[in-house]
Structure 1
Amino acid sequence: MRGKFKNKKAAEFIKQIPTDSVEGSGLVKRLKFNLHYLDLNQPAGLRGELSADFLTQLLEKLKNFSEQDLSHWVTMPAGRGNGNMYQIYDKFPKKSEFTHPPSVPHDAVWGRFRVDRTIRLAGFTIPSALNHKLCSQEKFRFCANTFYVVFIDLHHKFYIT
Structure 2
Amino acid sequence: MSKKVGKSKNKRKPLMAGASEREFSEDKEFVISFKHLDRQQGQSLSDWESLGILSQAIETLRGYCGETLHSRLDNKFTIYGKFPPSDKTDFTHPKHVPEDAEWARIHVNGKVCIVGHVVRNIFNVVFLDKDHRFWISEKKHT
Select which of 79, 93, 97 maps to 1:100. Answer: 93
Cα distance in 2, alignment partners of residues 60 and 85 from structure 1: 14
Cα distance in 2, alignment partners of residues 86 and 59 from structure 1: 15
Structure 2: unaligned runs, 5 residues or longer? 1-26, 138-142
Cα distance in 1, alignment partners of residues 61 and 104 from structure 2: 15
Select which of 86, 103, 106 maps to 2:77. Answer: 86
Runs of 4+ that moved beyond 4 A: none
Letter of the 1:158 partner, please give it: F
Structure 1: unaligned runs, 5 residues or longer? 1-27, 77-83, 127-143
Identity %: 35
Instruction: Please say if residues 30 and 68 of structure 1, whose CA atoms lie closer than 8 Å, have aligned partners that are also in contact.
Output: yes
Q: CA deviation at 1:88?
A: 1.2
Instruction: Please say if residues 56 and 108 of structure 2, whose CA atoms lie closer than 8 Å, have aligned partners that are also in contact.
Output: no
Cα distance in 1, alignment partners of residues 63 and 39 from structure 2: 23
Letter of the 1:147 partner, please give it: F
The structure with the greater share of residues assigned to strand is 2
Cα distance in 2, alignment partners of residues 67 and 61 from structure 1: 12
The structure with the greater share of residues assigned to helix is 1
- 3-state SS of paired residue (1:50): helix
Letter of the 1:160 partner, please give it: I
Q: CA deviation at 1:54?
A: 2.2
Larger radius of gyration: 1
Select which of 47, 50, 54 maps to 1:49. Answer: 47
Deviates more, 1:64-73 or 1:97-106: 64-73
Select which of 120, 123, 126 maps to 2:116. Answer: 123
TM-score normalised to structure 2 length: 0.69
Letter of the 1:31 partner, please give it: F
TM-score normalised to structure 1 length: 0.61
Q: CA deviation at 1:115?
A: 1.2
Q: Which structure's relative contact order is higher, taking Cα pairs within 8 Å and 6+ residues apart?
A: 2
